[in-house]
Amino acid sequence: MMDRWKPSVTVAGIIEKDGKYLLVEEHTPNGLMFNNPAGHLDPGESPLQACVREVLEETAFHFTPTALVGVYLSRFLKQATPDHPAQDITYLRFAFTGELGAHEPDRALDEGIVRTLWMSMEEMQATAARHRSRLLLRCAQDHARGQRFALETVYTDDSVLKLI
């Protein structure tokens, strides 16, 4: 029997201020790349909670989501390394927009994050070759078009929040 296919669930903060989007620059196996503040859903948390956590860990900003921008499915071929075979990975991304809160300037950023920065749509388009995720630009474009869904669109049953 084949194993059941399971996409990796991720979240991203799509945060705009004065026409620019908050991004992170991070070390990857392919060098320094740009991404939305984003990461994986951890056991025992909702996508909304994961997004709040990831934005704080990667940018040192508190974040209050106000709307879902979209749900995205993307496929990525991770190149083989001497220690690991190539991997065919599918990501299911929940992208939220919202309000930035307090900044903790002395907070250490997640391992691999070099810095945060703000980029305009034009700057993101010009640096597409350095995007960690193909979804970076698409999420920003959907946000810029005004695409918003109620937070209640993503329901998390209490059973998820109670680790066994």
**Residue 88 neighbours by CB distance under 10 Å:** 8
Q: Given this model, what pLDDT does residue 56 score?
A: 98
For the domain 8-153, what is the CATH superfamily, name and number? Nucleoside Triphosphate Pyrophosphohydrolase (3.90.79.10)
pLDDT tens digits, one per residue of 101-147: 999 999 999 999 999 999 999 999 999 999 999 999 999 999 999 99
**Phi, psi (degrees; rounded to nearest 5) at 19:** 80, 5
Write down the domain spans for the chain: 8-153
Q: Could you tell me where the beta strands, DSSP code E, fall in 29-82?
A: 31-35, 38-40, 61-78
- 8-state DSSP, 149: B
Rounded Cα gap, residues 16 and 62, in angstroms: 14
Rounded Cα gap, residues 33 and 25, in angstroms: 6
pLDDT tens digits, one per residue of 67-81: 999 999 998 877 777
Q: Given this model, what pLDDT does residue 163 score?
A: 65
Whole-model pTM over 0.85: yes
